[in-house]
């Protein structure tokens, strides 16, 4: 469902993701990268020394000269015993150096890879938190989570393992190639004869593997989305006894992933032994030609003698080919994953933010709380108009109530004030500023919002009241809770204000969560208050308590209240009755009752007086979009 998403649109336009990744995130850490590469090269070169020393020692024992590539013979001692000790020192020193360089390489490569991963993750989150509400309306949670976790991990794996693995492989091939040529060019050609075949085989593998990796990634994404959805909907699954249905759905997605993984692995398992076989061919050829040279005489085209020690070194070194080459499939695997992951990362980063801070935005300071909706029209995305030419004014300190049938556009109206979305036409002004001209932070910090459902972060009750005013003292938190009629129930918990609320606040009742949300607003003390059916989800007794605290909260600040229970907004300065995105009636409670319109009918319904309803009542209150 989320597969064909806004992500795909921007992902498709990401150009050269890996280059961009290096330019944007690699650059500040190039020092670590360079150190890692150099240490890696040195470690590889040091590890080539023991077979060469072994070869030289064997030569000496056969009465031939003890020589090492790149080491001038004049520096070497001539006696057998000093040469023995020198060999021991060389071999010991080579292992020591390999160890030290491998350590340096490990530290540097990880600093680089994890540094990039950390920066990418934080930037992705920062970008995500600035994205428009409409992005979240499309429910991209699973996809966004997987970018923040598994995609950044893929990048880390590639930068840490594969990139340095590739460097190591290159260093190994280069180092072995050079050493072999220095030792014996003829035999070196024989040993390296299979290298072009290996390259062709690798190319073939990469071409075949690419679509298989893509298929696997896609089924992995689908499975994640499925799991995300199934876990989020566990309550519905249980209440409708649909566990087996959900399991079947997960089984289907998991089976697809299994099959795609197996097709990929079948190719991969074919490649790895294939490379090992080619490395074996290289070894056998070296053995064949070198052995022939030693036992029979110079092979066609070769001149001179082959020393036994040189032959031993060759055999050891040509064996070294196999392991790093077999790693190529891992490197390709991780490269493909990282490429797709950086596409996803930059796909997210490239999503444009519509509702953003204006350039040179004004700070809304000391708002008085005058709010004007001036001929406001709004539609979500490109769909039909939800608010249609609405105008009204709320003077500082006034309460404006919005009532009307479900789907009429009441919540949408208030979301426009918070700039969760921008108006399509007209403007919303606070203290004579078009809200699009002031900074988002200063606008929102002047508005307190209590919705139908309250989200609480996992943490303590005090943390949740303090959310948004993080420096508030314990005393201020308690006072706010008292004003929100929450102090009493909070203190009845054994841990009081330090009680942990559980994920999303599940350990508290709806009414308790709502009172915590109100306490949060009281503490914040905003000039504007938005109450979107703040009491709809609670019982009558709690509603009474909440209403009491809301009444005192709204007494001296501009308040917008949406209510289905009309008794809660009876005292509002102005009541706007909305139908199909338009304000069809306006006035205070008395005026609206006397007009005998929809408001008066709704009031009759709530008073239980169904007899007096006009015939068209039902058709007016039924949401046509349902």
Ligand X SMILES: Nc1ncnc2c1ncn2[C@@H]1O[C@H](COP(=O)(O)OP(=O)(O)OP(=O)(O)O)[C@@H](O)[C@H]1O
How many whole angstroms separate alpha carbon 138 and alpha carbon 5? 8
- Measured distance CA(610)–CA(590) in Å, rounded: 20
For residue 79, the Cα-to-chain-centroid distance in whole angstroms is 65
Residue 337 in tokens:
């994953």
The reply to whether 568 sits near ligand X by the rule CB under 6 A is: no
Identified binder of ligand X from the candidate list 67, 282, 310, 411, rule CB under 6 A: 411
Distance in Å, CB of 8 to ligand X, minimum: 19
CA 443 to mean position of chain CA atoms: 28
Nearer to ligand X, 195 or 379 (CB): 379
Closer of 150 and 385 to ligand X (Cβ)? 385
What the block records as the tokens of 237 is 């699954």
CA distance 27 to 31: 8
Secondary structure of 68-120 as H, E, C letters: ECCECHHHCCCCHHHHHHHHHHHHHHHHHHHHHHHHHHHHHHHHHHHHHHHHH
Q: Kindly state the smallest distance separating residue 118's Cβ from ligand X, in Å.
A: 33
One-letter-per-residue 3-state SS of 445-470: CCEEEECCCCCCCCCEHHHHHHCCCC
Helices (H), 184-242: 185-192, 195-232, 234-239
Shortest approach of ligand X to residue 433 CB, angstroms? 24
- Structure tokens of 575? 């009541």
Rule CB under 6 A: say whether 559 interacts with ligand X.
Answer: no
Best CA proximity match to 179, nearest among 292, 68, 73: 68
**By rule CB under 6 A, what string of x and - marks binding of each residue 97-136 to ligand X?**
----------------------------------------
Q: Are 358 and 437 in contact (CB under 8 A)?
A: yes
- Nearest approach in angstroms of CB 537 to ligand X is 12
Identity of the residue, 51 or 409, whose beta carbon is nearer to ligand X in the bound complex:
409
CA distances to 69, 325, 491, 626 from 289, rounded to whole Å, are 22, 23, 88, 83
Q: Least distance (Å) from ligand X to the CB of residue 576?
A: 11
Structure letter (DSSP) for residue 184: -
CB crowding 106-125: b at 16 or more within 10 Å, else e: bebbbbbbbbbbebbbebbe
Among 406, 552, 567, 612, binds ligand X (CB under 6 A): 406
Nearest approach, Cβ of 531 to ligand X (angstroms)?
A: 12
Q: Helix (H, G, I), strand (E, B), or coil: what is residue 387?
A: strand
Number of residues that bind ligand X (CB under 6 A): 11
Q: Is 407 in the site for ligand X (CB under 6 A)?
A: yes
Q: Least separation, in Å, of the C-beta of 400 and ligand X?
A: 15
Burial tier of 595 (Cβ tally within 10 Å: 0-12, 13-18, 19+): middle
Stretch that binds ligand X, among 26-34, 238-246, 306-314, 400-408 (CB under 6 A): 400-408
For the segment 419-458, give every residue that binds ligand X (CB under 6 A): none
- Please enumerate in sequence order all residues whose Cβ is within 8 A of that of 473, keeping only pairs 6 or more positions apart, or say none: none
Binding flags for ligand X, 470-489, as an x/- string (CB under 6 A): --------------------
Q: Tell the smallest beta-carbon distance from residue 233 to ligand X (Å).
A: 19
Residue whose CB is less far from ligand X, 519 or 530: 530
Binding piece for ligand X, criterion CB under 6 A, among 227-235, 337-345, 406-414, 496-504: 406-414
Edge-first strand listing for the sheet containing 425-430: 385-394, 371-379, 425-430, 433-434
Where in 347-386 is the site for ligand X (CB under 6 A)? 380, 386
Binder among 168, 222, 410, 557 for ligand X (CB under 6 A): 410
Residue 306-325 contact track with ligand X, rule CB under 6 A, x = bound: --------------------
Residue 409 binding ligand X, by CB under 6 A: yes
Comparing CB distances to ligand X, the nearer of 410 and 444 is 410
Instruction: Pick the binder of ligand X from 341, 412, 454, 464 (CB under 6 A).
Output: 412
d(CA 106, CA 147): 26
CB of 406 to ligand X, least distance (A): 3
Q: Is 137 near ligand X (CB under 6 A)? A: yes
Q: Answer for the pair 578, 411: CB distance below 8 angstroms, yes or no.
A: no
> Between residues 284 and 406, which has the closer beta carbon with respect to ligand X?
406
Stretch that binds ligand X, among 141-149, 405-413, 442-450, 603-611 (CB under 6 A): 405-413
Q: Which is nearer to ligand X, 4 or 381 (CB)?
A: 381
- Cβ atoms of 530 and 447 closer than 8 Å: yes
Q: How far is the CB of 536 from ligand X (least distance, A)?
A: 9
The yes or no reply on residue 513 touching ligand X (CB under 6 A) is no
Could you say whether residue 617 binds ligand X (CB under 6 A)? no
CB under 6 A: which stretch of 46-54, 207-215, 404-412, 543-551 binds ligand X? Answer: 404-412
Q: CA-CA distance, 166 to 514, in Å (whole number)?
A: 56
Closest separation between CB of residue 27 and ligand X, Å?
A: 39
φ, ψ of residue 270 to 5 degrees: the values are: -75, -40
| Stretch of 56-64, 262-270, 307-315, 410-418 lying at the interface with ligand X (CB under 6 A) | 410-418
Return all residues near 162 (Cβ < 8 A) that are at least 6 apart: 330, 331, 333, 334, 335, 338
Distance CA 90, CA 115 (A): 36
The answer to the question of residue 408 lying near ligand X (CB under 6 A) is yes
For the CB of residue 2, give the shortest distance to ligand X in the complex, in Å.
15
Q: How far is the CB of 126 from ligand X (least distance, A)?
A: 23
Binding residues for ligand X, rule: CB under 6 A, are 137, 380, 386, 406-412, 625
């Amino acid at each position: 469902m989320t597969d064909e998403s806004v992500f795909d649109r921007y992902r498709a336009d990401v150009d050269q993701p890996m280059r961009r990744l290096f330019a944007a995130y690699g650059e500040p850490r190039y020092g670590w990268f360079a150190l890692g590469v150099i240490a890696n090269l040195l470690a590889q070169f040091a590890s080539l020394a023991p077979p060469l020393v072994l070869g030289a020692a064997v030569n000496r024992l056969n009465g031939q000269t003890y020589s090492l590539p790149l080491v001038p013979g004049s520096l070497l001692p001539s006696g057998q015993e000093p040469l023995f000790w020198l060999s021991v020192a060389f071999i010991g020193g080579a292992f020591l150096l390999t160890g030290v360089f491998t350590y340096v390489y490990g530290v540097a490569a990880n600093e680089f890879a994890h540094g990039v991963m950390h920066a990418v993750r934080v930037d992705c989150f920062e970008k995500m938190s600035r994205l428009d509400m409409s992005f979240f309306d499309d429910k991209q949670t699973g996809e966004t989570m997987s970018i923040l976790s598994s995609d950044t991990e893929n990048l880390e794996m590639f930068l840490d393992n594969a990139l340095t693995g590739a460097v190591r492989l290159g260093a190994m091939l280069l180092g072995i190639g050079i050493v072999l040529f220095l030792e014996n060019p003829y035999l070196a050609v024989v040993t390296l004869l299979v290298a072009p075949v290996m390259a062709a085989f690798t190319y073939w593998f990469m071409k075949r593997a690419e679509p298989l990796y893509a298929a696997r990634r896609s089924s992995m994404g689908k499975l994640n989305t499925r799991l995300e959805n199934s876990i989020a909907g566990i309550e519905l699954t249980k209440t409708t006894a649909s566990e087996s249905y959900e399991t079947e759905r997960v089984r289907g997605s998991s089976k697809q992933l299994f099959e795609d993984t197996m097709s990929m692995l079948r190719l991969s398992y074919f490649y790895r032994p294939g490379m090992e076989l080619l490395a074996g061919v290289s070894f056998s050829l070296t053995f064949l030609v070198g052995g022939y040279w030693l036992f029979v005489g110079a092979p066609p085209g070769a001149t001179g003698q082959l020393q036994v020690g040189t032959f031993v070194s060759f055999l050891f070194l040509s064996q070294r080919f196999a392991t790093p080459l077999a790693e190529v499939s891992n490197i390709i695997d991780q490269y493909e994953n990282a490429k797709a992951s950086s596409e996803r990362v930059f796909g997210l980063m490239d999503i444009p933010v519509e509702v953003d801070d204006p350039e040179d935005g004004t700070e809304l300071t000391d708002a008085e709380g005058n709010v004007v909706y001036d001929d406001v029209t709004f539609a979500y995305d490109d769909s039909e108009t939800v608010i249609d030419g609405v105008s009204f004014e709320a003077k500082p300190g006034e309460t404006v109530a919005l009532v009307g049938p479900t789907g009429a556009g009441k919540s949408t109206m208030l979301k426009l004030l918070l700039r969760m979305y921008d108006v399509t036409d007209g403007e919303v002004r606070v203290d004579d500023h078009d809200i699009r001209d002031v900074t988002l932070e200063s606008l929102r910090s002047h508005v307190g919002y209590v919705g139908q459902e309250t989200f609480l972060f996992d943490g303590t009750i005090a943390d949740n009241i303090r959310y948004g005013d993080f420096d508030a003292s314990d005393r201020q938190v308690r006072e706010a809770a008292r004003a929100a009629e929450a102090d009493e129930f909070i203190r009845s918990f054994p841990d009081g204000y330090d009680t942990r609320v559980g994920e999303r606040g599940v350990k508290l009742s709806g009414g308790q969560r709502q009172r915590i949300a109100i306490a949060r607003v009281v503490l914040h003390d905003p000039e504007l208050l938005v109450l979107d059916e703040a009491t709809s989800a609670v019982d009558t007794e709690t509603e009474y308590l909440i209403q009491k605290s809301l009444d005192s909260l709204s007494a001296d600040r501009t308040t917008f209240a949406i209510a289905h229970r009309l008794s809660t907004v009876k005292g509002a300065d102005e009541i706007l009755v909305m139908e199909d995105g338009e304000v069809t009636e306006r006035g205070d409670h008395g005026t609206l009752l006397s007009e005998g319109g929809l408001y008066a009918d709704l009031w009759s319904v709530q008073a239980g007086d169904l007899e007096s309803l006009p015939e068209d009542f039902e058709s007016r209150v039924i949401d046509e979009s349902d």
